[in-house]
Amino acid sequence: MSALHTKPAIAAAVLASLLFSSSGAAQQVNAYAAKAKVEPPAEKAPRVQIARGPELESADENSATIRWTSNNPGGSDEHFGVVHYGTSPNELNQTAKSHIRLNQNHPDTTFRVSVERLAPRTTYYYTVDSMQASGASDKVKSAVGKFTTPGPGERVMNFPQPK
């Protein structure tokens, strides 16, 4: 089907499109098939800002979930929330990241990151960022936050299911 730019070919194409549209109703399902494809990435937000958080969603003796909401960063739908953390505010030398999928139709995005293998009854300091699938940072600025893990068998839940 290499394109032949001759008048008869164009005329045939017009004729074909007319024929196709006249049988469009019968071809409803196949029309969907022809278009089935993966969405392209959204336009990247010029500046990604945090609107709420970051804050502790929940914690038990050896894990925590950090949560924040930013404007929709755009870019690849496959996205990662990133938490840099440590036991000293000056040494945030560990990193946790969790996958989320952006909703291109939403004005904002909630990130939630699991931080694992923590010690009980220990205070951790952290900052957050987010990144595209490629690893490119969204360059989010967050203040240094902190949380303390509870003791064995205890659990902190700051975002319970609403009634």
Partner 1 sequence: MRTRVIITVSGTLAIVLGATILSHAVSAQTSSPAQTSSPDGVAKPPVYDPYPPGILPSDLNSELARVVREVDFIEGRALAQWKALTPPVLTGQPPTLQGTGTAAIEALGELMNYDRNISPFRDIACASCHMPYVAFSGPIPSVNLTMVAYPGTVHFRAGKRTAQRYPYAPFFPVLQYNQVQGAFFGGNFWDSRATGYLLRNPDGEQAQHPPVDTQEMGNPDTACIAFKLQKASYRSLIEEIWGRGTLDIDFPAVTEKICALPGGAFGTNNTPVPLGPEERTRANQVYDHWAQALDAYEQSVQVSAFSSKFDAFLEGAYTLTAQEKAGYDLFRGKANCNSCHLDGRSTAPTPPPPEGTAPNSQDTGAAAATEPLFTCFGSANLGVPLNPRDAFYYQNKPDFFGFTANPYGFGYRDLGLGTFLRSGFGAAPSPNATWTQFAPVSDGQMQTSSARNVAMAPKQCPTTEAPGPYFQKEFFHNGYIKSLKQLVHFYNTRDVYKFNVTSGHCPPGKTEKVDCWPMPEVENNLDKTVGNLQLTDQEEDQIVVFLQTLTDGFTRPYSNSDTFTGACMQGGSAKTQGNEFLIPTPPLPPCTSAVCGVPPLPTMPIP
Q: Does 78 bind partner 1 (CB under 8 A)?
A: yes
User: What is the spatial distance between Cα 28 and Cα 45, in angstroms, rounded to a whole number?
Assistant: 36
User: What is the spatial distance between Cα 48 and Cα 2, in angstroms, rounded to a whole number?
Assistant: 45
Q: Does 69 bind partner 1 (CB under 8 A)?
A: yes
Report how far apart the first and last C-alpha atoms of the chain are (Å, whole number).
61
Burial of residue 88 (CB within 10 Å: 0-12, 13-18, 19+) is exposed
Region near partner 1 per CB under 8 A, out of 54-62, 83-91, 118-126, 137-145:
54-62
82 by DSSP, 3-state: which?
A: strand
Q: Which of 45, 92, 100, 156 binds partner 1 (CB under 8 A)?
A: 100
- Smallest distance from partner 1 to CB 27, Å: 10
Q: Does 6 bind partner 1 (CB under 8 A)?
A: no
Contact set with partner 1 (CB under 8 A): 28-30, 32-33, 35-41, 51-52, 57-58, 60, 65, 67, 69, 71, 76-78, 81, 98-103, 105-108, 110-114, 132-134, 157, 159-163
